[in-house]
Amino acid sequence: MSDIFERVKHYCMQNDLIRRGDKVLLAVSGGPDSIALLHVLHGMRKAMSFEIAVAHLEHGLRGESSVGDQLFVKKTAQNLMVDFYTKNISVADERARDESLEEAARRVRYRFLLDVLKKTGFHKVATGHTIDDNIETIIYRMATGTGPAGFTGIFPQNTFVIHPVLGCTKDEILFFLDKNEHRFRVDVTNSDTKILRNKIRHDIVPMLSDININYKTHILNLSGIIREEDEILDKITENCLKTLVIEESKNRVLIDYERFFSLKKALKRRIVLKLVRKLNSCDIDQFSGKNYFSFKSTDHVACSQIKGNKILYQNKDLVIRKEYGGLLFQKRVVNEVKKKYLYHIKSDSERIVISEIKREILFSRKESTSQFEDNRLYFDLDKVEFPVLIRSRRNGDRIRLKNLGVKKLKTIFINEKVPPGMRDEVPIVEINGEITGIFSTYYGRQNRVAEGYMITECTRKILICDLSRISQRSNDKKAD
């Protein structure tokens, strides 16, 4: 086998992983791959002029064995005179309701590594992933569901995380450790084939080797081809997306729905995935295992032709909804400042701009109408007393609805699955101290008018309240 130091050095230079003056934090579990990473980079650090330190998180999952790993890594780092950072934590206690134990461990591990980076001034994290890990990752994604991007495997660098030994095989790692008599720890759970990745390693990979001993080369060649093609397709997607964006900020992107829907299905899927990843791009999210967006969800958002306003997808982190002429991708923000507002309408011919939610409402009157549009509220004008209030919700708000009686707005929002962060944005109409209308189209449902203010056969004049996204004309008028 070729000298591992030269292989790793060449791989790092080829992929620009480590530069002169870098401060690299090594994530060392105590297993063979991370111990090899430690010894190799320790041997390279002076010639390439970079610093290293070691970090180890004790997950509290394997009792004395786990603590033994921690002590072993600490002693190894001390013997090499390398700074060592560690922490004990119970992953089981940190686990969220919708997380697997593996996902939780990954999330808290990278949170720990980020904390160490911030405290020490180091700016890169190195892990011990190898060619074998890359192969297993590709097979895992193929078996559990992925698109073409899933076949690109593990990248040499992902933001602040680098993989210096990704060009080495497991056999090369073990040969290096054995030759140099470097000790390492063995995690007994790695032999448990009930864990899917272990099943792939112990059951599936040997079968592939029986079929073709060069299977690793062929899979990596395919991965490389797809990666190169994916880079080209990603640029095409990015250029196309730029022509669709109506509004963009850190936590939300609004694109032109009609133009989006006219695109080819494959391009629409890529745009959806690109926007989902953009909104999930914080440091912890990308390593938490929660970036996965299923093909079913992607296809639903990309291919559902929606006429009215409707929520197409939502979870605790993200909402995607069709509203008016746009398709909105919005990240749910913890502790987001509530958008409270109040506007007074003094006549039936006004236009107001609700800057807090980037909407405008045009008020007008008609003698009669035979067409009712989804984004409008219609009131019996003879029952309306000015000023009319347009405001955000308040605690205890209720509305009397036909055939349903008096309902709390809170109950309506819960039943209609309105995201908590959106509930304070929904425009409410108040007349003479009474809730008379809800602009439910704001979150993709039918508008609601209180029973006592609905249009009937006896209605002579109609007050129309037309909600829409802020137009350029309104922006210009406001600027004046």
So what's the pLDDT on residue 475? Answer: 46
In the prediction, which pLDDT does 130 show? 97
Is the predicted pLDDT of residue 1 greater than 60, yes or no? no
Kindly state whether residues 300 and 378 are assigned to the same domain: no
pLDDT for 338 equals 60
Report the pLDDT averaged over residues 6-33. 96
Phi and psi at residue 377, to the nearest 5°? -110, 140
* Closest CA relative to residue 149, chosen from 40, 292, 312: 292
The string of DSSP letters for 347-395 reads: SSS-EEEETTTTEEEEEEEES--S---TTEEEEEGGG--SSEEEE---T
Residues 285 and 378 in one domain: no
Whether residue 479 has pLDDT greater than 50: no
- Cα(58)–Cα(28) distance, integer angstroms: 11
Query: Range with the lowest mean pLDDT among 6-15, 419-428, 443-452?
Result: 419-428
Is the model's pLDDT at 2 over the cut of 60? no
User: Do you find a cis peptide bond into 156, omega within 30 degrees of 0?
Assistant: no
pLDDT digits (tens, 9 = 90+) for 61-74: 888 899 999 999 99
pLDDT confidence tier of residue 334, bands split at 50, 70 and 90: low
What confidence score (pLDDT) does residue 174 get?
A: 96
Q: Of 280, 299, 331, which marks where a domain is finished?
A: 331
| 266 Cβ contact list (under 8 Å, min separation 6) | none
Query: Residue 218 domain-assigned?
Result: no
Predicted local confidence at residue 283, as pLDDT: 45
Burial 451-472 (b: 16+ CB within 10 A, else e): eebbbeeebebbbbbebebbee
Q: Within a domain: residue 219?
A: no
| Residues 44, 182 within the same domain | yes
Per-residue pLDDT of 392-410, as tens digits, reads 999 999 999 999 999 999 9
The residues with which 157 forms a beta bridge, in sequence order, are: 162
Residue 88 near residue 75 (C-beta atoms within 8 A): no
Q: What pLDDT does residue 471 have?
A: 61
Q: Which two tokens stand for residue 332?
A: 């749910």
Residues 191 and 251 in one domain: no
Same domain flag for 269 and 231: yes
Same domain, 314 and 442: no
Burial class, 162, CB count within 10 angstroms (exposed 0-12 / middle 13-18 / buried 19+): buried
**What is the Cα–Cα distance from 224 to 173, expressed in whole angstroms?**
23
- The residue type of 87 is K
Beta partners for residue 365, in sequence order = 463
Average pLDDT of 469-477? 55
Mean pLDDT of 124-146: 92
Whether residue 230 lies inside any domain: the answer is yes
Share of the chain above pLDDT 70, in %: 93
End residue of a domain, out of 178, 211, 244:
211
Residue 472 has pLDDT above 60, yes or no: no
**Residue 221 falls within a domain, yes or no?**
no
Q: Report yes or no on 80 lying in a domain.
A: yes
In this structure, what CATH number is given to the domain that contains residue 184? 3.40.50.620
pLDDT at 271: 96
- Categorize the per-residue pLDDT at 480 as very low, low, confident or very high, splitting at 50, 70 and 90: very low
pLDDT of the residue at 477: 44
Residue 362 sits in which domain range?
Answer: 342-479
Q: How confident is the model at residue 292 (pLDDT cuts 50, 70, 90)?
A: low
**What gap in Å lies between CA 54 and CA 128, rounded to an integer?**
12
Residues 162 and 24 in one domain: yes
Tokens matching residue 173: 């790692």
Indicate the number of domains in the chain. Answer: 3
